[in-house]
Amino acid sequence: MTLLHSVLSLVLSWTGLCSVLYIFSTGLVAVVALWTVRLLLRHTWYSHRLSCFSKPQTRSWLLGHLGKMQSTEEGLQQVDDLVQTYKHSCCWFLGPFYHLVRLFHPDYVKPLLMAPASITVKDELIYHHLRPWLGDLLISNGEVWSRKRRLLTPAFHFDILKNYIAVFNSSSKIMHDKWCRLVAEGKTNLEMFDHVSLMTLDSLLKCAFSYDSNCQESSSEYVSAIVELNDLATRRQENILHHWDWIYWKTQQGKRFKQALNTVHRFTRDVVQKRRTFLSQQRETETQSDVALTARRRKDFVDIILLTKDEDGKGLTDEEIQAEANTFMFAGHDTTASAICWTLYNLEVMDLMEGRDGQEIEWEDLSTFPSHHVHQRGLRLHSPVPGVTRKYTQDMVLPGNRTICLVSILWTHHNPTEFDPLHFDPSNKKSQASHAFIPFSSGPRFSFSIQP
């Protein structure tokens, strides 16, 4: 009886397990089927909704333009061909997953970027992948975004930026001295972007954290992690399967991203905590004369956002400050390096420096730069930010009564209908479209504006 009881128990247990597995697998199949049906219905709806826009040739109804948006020179040329063909806009489907409209004419870009912040939502096609690194500043919306913007805007006042000119000159000199040394050693060519990118990182670390990394001359764990995060974020964007977290974090790229992320977050967390402690101790011990001296001392980015308060007397938390500092480094170094490289490609400053004893550019020179328009042309032809994405909580009306959800910056600049070789010439009095030149985006959701 005992043996029979054991056998029956085993059979019942196995039967029960099989039943559970059957129910689970059946339920999983049902969930996948429901998700697939919903995805296809959504794809059909968007295909009809955006049919008023011109549509370039697709790979198929289901795949759309998946794989055709490439971050290569050939890919850029293909988009340039789109602008030549469609003039102002076209729809673009990344499989059944993402349904976009690419805009490249000022008249279509303007109403989109100038829409009220209350109905403008940062689309997560691009920004979602940056959330683990940067927090919510780039993709926050509503009052959360408005409050952070109010708190951070003082950090970008002209009076603050003036104090950084000495830092920029110092970092540029280190880079130039390194070039001279490499040429003396027989180096015949240099990969400009690598050197300039290290220089902008060096400058930002000094401005943001008062931290001298010496990254232009020696390796830095933090700087290496920043560079790797930039590269991995770009590569993730190009692989549609990596857009889902539950897949990406299991890949080798996802594991490398997390490792670099830990390095960056550990660095910024330590800096913020140490600086908050220092400022707190300083307020407790400083005398009246110390207060005046502190007010004159150059404050870095972390100092400013640690001290800023809203109308209720509340500041940002350590976690929020870390996110803003990470965003500052991400948004500042790569785009600036790109702009500088392309400006160097087009620019000479010999006329400006003629007759001077020193070799450093002053703040006042920026407004009287004889080739200032060359810098602007560089930003137009080689925009550091090639595009931005937006979603809207209500339909947006464009020329032709069409609705839209995306902008292309680089190809708005390349639009042949708006080309004018004298666009930035100071003597040119011809009226220009307000959104024909938007190298870093525009409008209420443009992250920061310089305050005079």
pLDDT at 24 over 80: no
Residue scoring higher pLDDT (339 or 27): 339
Q: Give how far the C-alpha of residue 368 lies from the chain's centroid of Cα atoms, to the nearest Å.
A: 30
Nearest 10 degrees: CA dihedral of 167, 172, 174, 178? 170
Residue 250 is predicted with a pLDDT of 94
Closest Cα to residue 449, out of 181, 93, 156, 31? 156
pLDDT at 263 over 90: yes
pLDDT in tens, 124-182: 666 778 888 888 766 666 677 777 777 777 777 777 778 888 899 999 999 999 999 99
Q: Is the distance from CB of 207 to CB of 301 less than 8 angstroms? A: yes
Of 102-116, 244-258, 402-416, minimum mean pLDDT range:
402-416
What's the pLDDT at 4? 46
Residue 330, pLDDT > 70, answer yes
Tell me what pLDDT residue 403 has.
Answer: 47
Residue 12 has pLDDT above 50, yes or no: no
Q: Looking at residue 199, what is its pLDDT?
A: 93
Q: What is the mean pLDDT of residues 431-436?
A: 74
- What strand order describes the sheet that includes 387-392? 120-122, 387-392, 406-408
Q: Which residue has the higher pLDDT, 332 or 56?
A: 56
Domain ranges of the chain: 52-414
- Out of 33-42, 65-74, 174-183, 364-373, pick the least confident: 364-373
What fold characterizes domain 52-414?
Cytochrome p450 (1.10.630)
Higher model confidence: residue 299 or residue 253?
253
68: closest CA among 240, 184, 230, 303? 240
Stretch 291-296: mean pLDDT = 51
- Over residues 355-372, mean pLDDT: 65
pLDDT range class, residue 196, cuts 50, 70, 90: very high
- Is the separation of the CB atoms in 71 and 238 below 8 Å? yes
Q: What integer pLDDT is reported at residue 260 of this predicted model?
A: 95
Amino acid identity, position 418: E
Instruction: Give the 3-state secondary structure of residue 92.
Output: strand
* Residue 411 banded pLDDT, cuts 50, 70, 90: low
Mean pLDDT of 80-97: 86
Confidence class for position 447, pLDDT limits 50, 70, 90: very low
Q: Kindly tell me if the per-residue pLDDT of 421 is higher than 80.
A: no
State the pTM of this model: 0.74
pLDDT at 8 over 60: no
Using the 8-state DSSP alphabet, how is residue 363 labeled?
T
